[in-house]
Structure formats: C-alpha cells, structure tokens
A and B are shown apart, each in its own frame.
Chain A
Amino acid sequence: MPPEFSVRSDSVDVDQIMTQIRARIREKRGVDYTEEELRQLASVKLETFLDPTRVRSDLIAHYRIMREPGDASAGPPENYAFDDHLVYGSARGASGRFITRIRKLLNPVLKLFINPNPIIQVLHRQSAINAYYREEFDRTSSLNFELIHNLVLEVTRLGIEVKNLKMRVESVSGRLDFSDRRARALESVVQYRPGTGPEAEMTETAAAPAPAPGGGQAAKREGEAAAAGGPIKGEAQRARRRRRRRGRGGAAGQPVPGNASAVESGPGGEASEDGGDTPAARGGAGDGLPFDGGEAGPAGAPAPGTGEPTDQ
C-alpha cells in the first residue's frame, strides 16, 4: 500500500498529488530498469508464457470455430466481383435500370475523356488476386497454427526441463561448496593421539639405528641424523610431516605407478619428493574430494612401485 500523501483535507491539490505520484513512479522505475528488475520482468514474462496450464489444448479447434463462415465478424470482407455492370449499374430498382441504360448510352462520350476498360480489367484482376491469396491463406493458416501450437508446447517442455536442470545444478553446486568447507575445516583441526604422531615416530626412529628392511634412503638419512642428534632432527620432522600430508592427499586418488611411495618408499622415495607437486603425486587432488578416501590413510596404501607396505 502506498504511503499517505501529505495532503490536507481542506486544501487538496490534484496537480501536486499527480506530480508526487508520477515522481514516485519514476523513482521506483528509474529512467531504465535495473538489471535485477529486468531479470525479474523477463522471468515473469517467460513463466507466464511457459505456463503449461495456459496453453490451450483445443487451440486449433478454437481457431477453426472462429473462422467458420457463420461468424461474420471473424471472416474477411466479401470479395468484389468486379465487372462492367458494377461500373455502369445502379441499385435503385426501376430507376436504376434506366440510369444504367443512360450510362451505357453515354459510354462513347465518356471514352472521349477517359477509357474505363483498363481500370475495370485491373480491378477485376485485383479481385482475382485477392481471391487467390485468400485461398492460399486458408490453406496454410491451419498448418501454421498447428506448427505454432506444437512450438509452444515444445518451448514449454524445454522451459520446464531447463528449470529442472537449473535446480539440479544449484543442488550439486551447494553440495560441492559444503564439502569444500568441510574439508578445509577438518584439515585445520588434525590432532594426533598421545603416543602417535611425528614425535613418537621420531623416538621410534632414534631407538632403531638400523634402517627398516626395504627402507629407503630417506629413512636411512633420517635415522643417521637422529642418531647424531643434530639440527637435522627438526628438518626431518618437517619433511616427514610434509610427506604425511601429501600421502593423505593421495589416499583417495589413484596412486601413480612408480611414484606412489608416499612415505618411506625406499628407492622410489626421492622420485616422490621430486614429483610431489604434480596432481598425481598429491593423490589425485584434482577431483576435489579429499575426504572420500580418508579412511584408508596414506600409510596403509600399498605402494604399487614396491608391491609392499613400507611403513611398518
């Protein structure tokens, strides 16, 4: 409901009221429609048009009824049968016949000034042309109408399908966003249980000076560094953490043969370090769903390059 106008009951000024109303309409509508209003208008129009309940199922039958000869208002005006009787004739009964005779008698005199015969012929021909086009129209109009009817139905159907697809895309997009957010949230809250995690691993490594059978050069290096107790310890921890992260990322993806030794992969380990930036090395992170394979865990994943688990 529009707001009250500031008009006192004892001093109504219609001119002023109309100016206010028009200003408000202009303000509401603007010089041009905004993008949003345009979109809204377009969708409203389209929806009205595409409303399947509004498409007449009896469109053609209705059209045919409208064009029945009984309905004079729907049909075109009657065509003229143009001939010389129409030019010289009169509709005034007995006096008309007399007038017709006089006119025909005076025809030679008339021909001294103009020759009506070409005009009669041209108009007669025009009448025939009109009749021809009317027949053509009658023949094609039914077909055209059927075509339009089918087009309307088809457009309606397509419109509904587009609408459904749009809804599906929106739904999938929403689910994807949600999964992304969930992934980020879980990554940021990774915690290690007591007795596990990088520190515990470091301790285990220090207590076992000999490299694990089948262990790679990296593990060996780490073991040596730990034994030396030098600054390499922290670096090794960071490297291990990095590898763990990479391994977690790769768990869901298809491991790349020969490059899949996610952690302590023996001879392939170096290669893994080098190729770590490729999507494959990141566990096929390109699929964007890092949690789908989370249960298996990188450490448990077999390394196709070695054929055996290497982290035991």
Chain B
Amino acid sequence: MKLAVVVQRYGLDINGGAELHARYVAEQLARRAEVDVLTTCARDYITWRNELPAGESEVNGVRVRRFPVRRERDPDRFGRQSHYVFGSAHSIADELAWLRSEGPASPALIDSIRLNGAGYDFFIFFSFRYYLAYHGIRAAASRSLLVPTAERDGAVGLAIFAPVFRGVRALMYNSFEERAMIQAASGNEAVPHVVVGVGSEVPARTNPERFRQKYGITSPFVVYVGRIDENKGCKELFSHFERYTRALRGNLSLVLMGNSILPIPDNPRIRHLGFVSDEDKFDGIAAAEALIMPSYFESLSMVALEAWALGRPVLANGRCDVLQGQCLRSNAGLFYESYEEFLETLALIQSNRRLAVAMGQNGHEYFQRHYAWPVIVRKYMDMLDRLRADDQGGAVRPPIEPLPGWFARRRTGCLAGNDVVAGLPAGPARRDGRRR
C-alpha cells in the first residue's frame, strides 16, 4: 500500500502539535506501508517563509517531498480576515480569501496531488483548517483521509469546511469531543471514522532523581510542559498557584518547562527551566506529583498522554472539553474550572498519595489501551484496509460537493464562524463517547 501524508510543515525540529502528530504517524505507518510525506518548504508557521530546499529528502527513513509556498502570510491581513469571517456574516468568497491568507498556499503541491495522485492509494491530510488540506482533499477526495486536529474555534463553523468533512473517505478523530463537534457542524455521521489520537515516544525507563539533582529541586512539585503563553492558560495557572501557596502552607512548587512568551511571576515556588531536552522532560514528569494542563483549547494533549504513559496524574483545565473528557474516561486526572476547584483538586492530589498513585496507574493503563503505538497503527491500518476493500468491492461514492457558482459564492449568507461554534453541543463525552 502506498500512502502520502500531507502536512503543512515537516521536520525533526518542528514541534507543533499537528506536525509532530503527522511525523509520528508517518514514521509508524512507514513500517507497514510505503509512505511519502508531501509538505512545504516552510519552517515558520507565522509567515510560511520558504526556508527548506524544495525537492526530495529523507527524515528518519521517510521520504519527504517539499514544495515551495507561493506567498508568505501577511499576519495583519490574516488577522483582519479572521476577525471578519469569525465575527460577522460573510460570503463563501470571504472564507476562501481567508483560507488563502492563512496559507500555506502551495499550488505546486496541490497540482502534484492532482496530477500524480494516482500513484498513491490514499492521502492522509492533517489539520483541516489549512490551505493544503482543503484544496488537497478537493483534488483527491475519493482517496483522502482527514485527521482534523480541530479545536473549538471559529474555523469549525466556516461553511467551506462542511462539504470537506462530508466528502472525505474517512476521518481519524483525536477525541470523542472533536468527533461530536465536527459531526454537529457538518452532519457527516455517515462518513467512516474512528477516534484514534496519537501515541508518543515515551522512554521505557526514566530517572527522576537525575532530574532533581540536575535542577536542584528537592521539594515536591507539579509540572507544566509546553509553551508558556496566555493562550495556553498559563496566566490563570500562575494566578491560581500563587493563591494556592498563600492559602495552604507547604512546599509544593510549580516547575515550568518550555519557552515563555509571558512574564513568569517572581515567586520562589515557581521555577522556570526553559526549553529542556526530551530526557529532562520525561524525567521531570516522572519526578512530579502531577502534570498541570491549563489550556482552554486542545484537540488532544500529547503531553497529558505522556504524563499518563509515565504513570503520573493530570490536573487539567475543565473548560477544555477534550481534557475534561479524557480525565473522566481515563479516571486518571482531576480538573478545575475555578480557583476553588483548583485549590481543592491540587490539595487532594498532593495530600492523598493513594489517590494520586491510583490515578497514575489508571493513566498508564488508559495510555496502553488506547494510545500505545500498536493500537494506533492497528486503527489506521484497519481503516485503510476497510477503504481498500470498499474500493475493490466496487462501492460507488458520490463526488465531493462542488463549490457554489460565482454569484452564490459572493452572496453574504454565511453565519459568523464563532456564532456557529457557539451553537454546537459542548461538554465532555462519556466513556461511550456520547455527550454528558
């Protein structure tokens, strides 16, 4: 079987969520099938500037074909258009203009899919919201699988994406919450799908003591891993944790790993280690009392899965449906929606060691059951086999819905993306995947 993974950026030094997800999946599937990666020459997701050479190369044994981006993103223009299509009634043409301004616009890559697509059995597209996924799926809908990596933002509510969600051959969701949201937005229940997520390269053994010695941390601590950003809920985390330290005497510290674009409070119980190696990251998580995940928007938190893989409980922001749903389904983490809940849940994890250990065990089991690589690869391969069997059986599928005509595209009939998303069902899913 010959597969093509299509993603906006690709490389060992590219650590964006969806891009890393795509690389992991490509590398795992490469052991079971012939895999090419089709991507751009961009490294920076803000500008999509062509930084890497076009043409073929190899990354971790996977062949990568890079195509140039025709036009860099103008952040101001993109910001204005996002504001418009997410916040006001608009037309399909406005949405297409928004998509072009978002990028990475690489017509060469789309042409390659259109012209040479027959050489691949299936295309696996990552991140529905980008130019490549939208136009690539339209170019080869009958052989397209989509990994949407959708968050609860206005893009899900844009009208141009509903036909794409309905027109692909299959969807590989990250979570039940994501599936429920996309199905409600597009009515694509009939499209074959599976909730699969992504695994992680967690080391078999960790050394918490080494981490403690290296960074001179002797007291118990909770850890946050990721970009330290207001959008990730870090500002709220700092506020809650500082109040927590004032309310409860003790020596619990907060350790932060990752680059910061937010001032870190001057508090002796908050330690910022900066960007750390994978070894330090995993040792640090293993040494922590718990991992804190304060983000409001996640389609799947890989770092939470890594903490569970290492047997540590997670304290998540309950306002993120996906995180709350994962905590409930795994019984491996608590969540908070206010300071009072933060105080109670963190104090509980800190004080009730038996509970913390039990949640860690549950997390480990949850990870092994759902997110271990053999499980993930099996789900992908099962889906691909099923689609190929359908093809061989001669099943006829209607083509993807065409775009409206020139005049209809310019009619202001689309609701603001944010309004559409606000009307979608919310809340975590239960163990059977239904909404609570």
List residues of chain A with CB under 8 Å of any chain B CB.
Answer: 1-2, 4-5, 7-10, 12-15, 17-18, 21-22, 24-25, 28-29
Residue in B344, B345, B355, B357 whose Cβ sees the most chain A Cβ within 10 Å: B344
B118 to chain A minimum Cβ distance, whole angstroms, is 37
Residue pairs across A and B with Cβ atoms less than 8 A apart, 14 shown, are: A1-B248, A1-B351, A7-B355, A7-B358, A9-B357, A12-B359, A12-B362, A13-B331, A14-B330, A14-B334, A17-B355, A25-B340, A25-B341, A25-B344
List of A residues within 8 angstroms of B348 by Cβ: 2, 5, 17, 21
A19 to chain B minimum Cβ distance, whole angstroms, is 11
A24 touching B344 in the complex, CB below 8 Å, given contacts A2-B351, A5-B352, A12-B331: yes
Does B103 belong to the interface (CB within 8 Å)?
Answer: no
> Is B341 within 8 A of A21, CB to CB?
yes
A264 to chain B minimum Cβ distance, whole angstroms, is 73
Q: A2-B344, A12-B355 are in contact. List 6 more A-B contacts (CB 8 A).
A: A4-B352, A5-B352, A9-B355, A14-B334, A18-B335, A24-B344
Distance, CA A5 to CA B348, complexed state (A): 8
Q: Which residue of B lies closest to A3 (CB)?
A: B351
| Interface bin, chain B | 20 to 34
List of B residues within 8 angstroms of A7 by Cβ: 352, 355, 358
> 1/0 per position for B325-363, CB-CB distance to A under 8 A?
001101111110000110011011001101101110010
Q: Which residue of A lies closest to B249 (CB)?
A: A1
Q: Which residue of A lies closest to B430 (CB)?
A: A15
Distance, CA A18 to CA B336, complexed state (A): 9
Main secondary structure of the interface of B (DSSP, over half): helix
List of A residues within 8 angstroms of B341 by Cβ: 21-22, 25
Query: Which B131-147 residues sit within 8 Å CB-CB of chain A?
Result: none
> Is A18 within 8 A of B334, CB to CB?
yes
List of A residues within 8 angstroms of B358 by Cβ: 7-10, 12
A2 touching B347 in the complex, CB below 8 Å, given contacts A12-B362, A17-B334, A29-B340: yes
> Is A14 within 8 A of B333, CB to CB?
yes
Q: Which residue of B lies closest to A16 (CB)?
A: B331
A293 to chain B minimum Cβ distance, whole angstroms, is 55
Q: Which residue of B lies closest to A1 (CB)?
A: B351
Distance, CA A13 to CA B362, complexed state (A): 10
Residue in B330, B335, B348, B354 whose Cβ sees the most chain A Cβ within 10 Å: B348
Q: Which residue of A lies closest to B344 (CB)?
A: A21
> Is A14 within 8 A of B354, CB to CB?
no
Distance, CA A10 to CA B357, complexed state (A): 10
Residue in A2, A4, A8 whose Cβ sees the most chain B Cβ within 10 Å: A2
Distance, CA A103 to CA B333, complexed state (A): 62
Distance, CA A7 to CA B354, complexed state (A): 9
Distance, CA A2 to CA B248, complexed state (A): 10
Distance, CA A13 to CA B334, complexed state (A): 10
Q: Which residue of B lies closest to A17 (CB)?
A: B334
> Is B334 within 8 A of A1, CB to CB?
no
Residue in B345, B347, B352 whose Cβ sees the most chain A Cβ within 10 Å: B352
Distance, CA A10 to CA B347, complexed state (A): 20
List of B residues within 8 angstroms of A13 by Cβ: 331
List of B residues within 8 angstroms of A12 by Cβ: 331-332, 355, 358-359, 362
> Is A14 within 8 A of B357, CB to CB?
no
List of B residues within 8 angstroms of A25 by Cβ: 340-341, 344
Distance, CA A12 to CA B347, complexed state (A): 17
A2 to chain B minimum Cβ distance, whole angstroms, is 5
Distance, CA A8 to CA B352, complexed state (A): 11
Q: Which residue of A lies closest to B340 (CB)?
A: A25
Distance, CA A156 to CA B166, complexed state (A): 63
Distance, CA A25 to CA B339, complexed state (A): 11
Distance, CA A22 to CA B354, complexed state (A): 21
List of B residues within 8 angstroms of A2 by Cβ: 344, 347-348, 351
Distance, CA A201 to CA B352, complexed state (A): 82
> Is A14 within 8 A of B344, CB to CB?
no
A28 to chain B minimum Cβ distance, whole angstroms, is 8
Distance, CA A29 to CA B331, complexed state (A): 27
Distance, CA A41 to CA B98, complexed state (A): 48
A15 touching B328 in the complex, CB below 8 Å, given contacts A4-B352, A10-B358: yes
Distance, CA A265 to CA B319, complexed state (A): 89
A148 to chain B minimum Cβ distance, whole angstroms, is 24
Distance, CA A33 to CA B32, complexed state (A): 62
List of A residues within 8 angstroms of B334 by Cβ: 14, 17-18, 21
Q: Which residue of A lies closest to B338 (CB)?
A: A25
List of B residues within 8 angstroms of A14 by Cβ: 327-328, 330-334, 359
List of B residues within 8 angstroms of A4 by Cβ: 351-352
Distance, CA A17 to CA B358, complexed state (A): 13
B419 to chain A minimum Cβ distance, whole angstroms, is 26
Distance, CA A129 to CA B111, complexed state (A): 49
Q: Which residue of A lies closest to B428 (CB)?
A: A15
List of B residues within 8 angstroms of A1 by Cβ: 248, 347, 351
List of A residues within 8 angstroms of B354 by Cβ: 9
> Is B333 within 8 A of A5, CB to CB?
no
Query: Which B335-394 residues sit within 8 Å CB-CB of chain A?
Result: 335, 340-341, 344-345, 347-348, 351-352, 354-355, 357-359, 362
List of B residues within 8 angstroms of A10 by Cβ: 358
A208 to chain B minimum Cβ distance, whole angstroms, is 81
A29 to chain B minimum Cβ distance, whole angstroms, is 7
Distance, CA A257 to CA B134, complexed state (A): 108
Residue in A5, A10, A18 whose Cβ sees the most chain B Cβ within 10 Å: A18
Residue in B328, B341, B355 whose Cβ sees the most chain A Cβ within 10 Å: B355
